[in-house]
Each structure stands twice: as C-alpha cells, then as structure tokens.
C-alpha cells in the first residue's frame, strides 16, 4: 500500500513537471515567433544608412527612382546654410510637437495647443514608417539618400531640409514625385519643398542636454494628446 502511494505521488510530481516545461516551451515559442514577425526599423535608406547622415551636395549627379532618372535641384550650400541660420530663430516658450497622421497622410505642427502648420505628406509605401514617440536628433540642410533593391532601388542626391527623428527615418523634401497625400516613400516622411523648408526652420534639433522637437507618428491623430499608435516602437534612450 505504501509503495503504491509513493508511486502515485511520483507520477503526480512528474505530471506537474511536464506541464511546467510544456508551458515554458510554449511561452518561449510565442516570444520567438513574435520577435521574428515584429517589424524592424534599423535603417530607412539601406544603401547609405551611415553616409546619408552627413551634409552632401552633388549638383552634377542624376538621381534614380523607381527605375527612372530624375534631375535633382541645384543646391547652393552657402545660401542654404545662411538661410537656415536666419530661419531657425524662434522666440516662443511653448513646447513644440510634430504629429504625423498616417491615416490621412497629414503632418501637424503645434506650439503648446496652438497649431502652427498643417501639410500633406507621403509616408512609407515600400517600407513602413515607424509609429511611436521620438525627438529630432539631427538636422541637415541637404544630403544624399539611397536604398531599396531591384525595381524599388533609388539613389537621390540633393535631398533638402532633412530632420531625422529615429535612426535615419526623417522628414525631407521629395523632388522625384508630386503625389503628396499618398504613401510614396521607403519609410521616411516626404514633404513638398515649401513645407519641408518651413518645418525645418521652425523645429529644433538637440542642444546640450535639451532634446530636439518632439515627434509623434500616429496611426490616427485628432488633437494633441490623442495619438493612436498600433505596435509603436520604443526608441533607445
């Protein structure tokens, strides 16, 4: 009788061990699958992930977008730099915040609760624009961007008024299309020249211990404080 009871107890213990290890295995499997399918946002411009974070002007180059040649605008770096230093001056003490509504392909700029700007944009079509809350970490008056592969490859010199908010995802001009209001990018936020220049002049980059202007990319946006984000990413501190 005692032997039988011990045997039954051993079977019970082994039964719980099996349940524990099965649960652990399932949890790890779900985590691994979720991590595998979770969108990665390491780089927007894959061919120039590092080099496009520098000021770059090439007035003799021809751009390529979607298999066709495009003529970039001629850029006078001295004039652009001078204009940047004047336009960048601001006196408002209200906190600045840029919101991007992916559902309507619209950008909003606020100082406090006051809307300063509204403009149509083109977000990611061949690569998703990451949703989340960021800060502008670098501003460049002009640079070169390249990436994609095959029929989606692009190489675009003299991209102006660039402001990066997550890795090399950022706001910038798009002279190679005029389809604003619809997704047209590889992950960045395309803007018309006049809008990108205005936003560049108004927004702040980091200074000392102060972060750059806040940026929220939303699946849907209604007003400051109401930004719906599905699966937002968390930027590194």
**Distances in whole angstroms, Cα of residue 67 to Cα of each of 89, 148, 169:** 40, 11, 22
Confidence (pLDDT) at 86: 46
How many CB atoms sit inside 10 A of residue 73's CB?
13
Tens place of pLDDT per residue across the chain (237 aa): 555 554 555 556 555 555 554 554 444 443 343 433 444 456 777 666 655 677 888 888 888 887 888 888 888 877 776 666 544 445 566 799 999 999 999 999 999 999 999 999 999 998 899 999 999 999 999 998 888 777 778 889 889 999 999 988 999 999 999 999 999 998 999 999 999 999 999 999 999 999 999 999 999 998 888 999 999 998 766
Helices (H), 150-192: none
CB atoms within 10 A of CB 47: 16
Contacts of 171 (CB under 8 A, 6+ apart): 98, 107, 121, 161, 162, 163, 165, 188, 189, 191, 196, 199, 200
Q: Could you tell me if 208 and 219 are in contact, meaning their C-beta atoms sit under 8 angstroms apart?
A: no
Polymer length of the chain: 237
Give the per-residue pLDDT at 146: 84
Residue 168 CA to residue 48 CA, distance in Å, equals: 9
Q: What is the pLDDT of residue 112?
A: 93
């Amino acid at each position: 009788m005692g032997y039988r009871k011990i045997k039954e107890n051993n079977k019970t213990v082994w039964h719980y061990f099996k349940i524990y290890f099965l649960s652990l295995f399932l949890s790890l499997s779900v985590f691994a699958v979720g991590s595998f399918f979770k969108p990665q946002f390491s780089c927007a411009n894959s061919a120039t992930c590092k080099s496009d974070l520098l000021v770059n002007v090439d007035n003799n180059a021809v751009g390529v977008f979607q298999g066709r040649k495009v003529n970039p605008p001629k850029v006078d770096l001295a004039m652009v730099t001078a204009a940047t230093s004047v336009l960048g001056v601001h006196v408002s003490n209200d906190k600045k915040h840029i919101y991007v509504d992916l559902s309507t392909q619209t950008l909003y700029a606020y100082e406090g609760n006051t809307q300063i700007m509204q403009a149509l944009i083109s977000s990611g079509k061949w690569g998703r624009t990451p949703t989340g809350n960021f800060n502008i970490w670098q501003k460049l008056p002009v640079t070169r961007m390249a990436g994609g592969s095959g029929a989606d490859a692009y190489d675009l010199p003299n991209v102006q008024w660039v402001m990066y908010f997550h890795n090399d995802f950022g706001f910038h001009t798009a002279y190679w299309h005029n389809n604003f209001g619809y997704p047209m990018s590889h992950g960045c936020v395309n803007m018309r020249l006049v809008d990108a220049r205005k936003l560049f002049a108004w927004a702040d980059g980091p200074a000392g211990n102060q972060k750059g202007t806040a940026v929220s990319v939303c699946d849907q946006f209604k007003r400051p404080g109401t930004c719906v984000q599905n699966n937002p990413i968390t930027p590194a501190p």
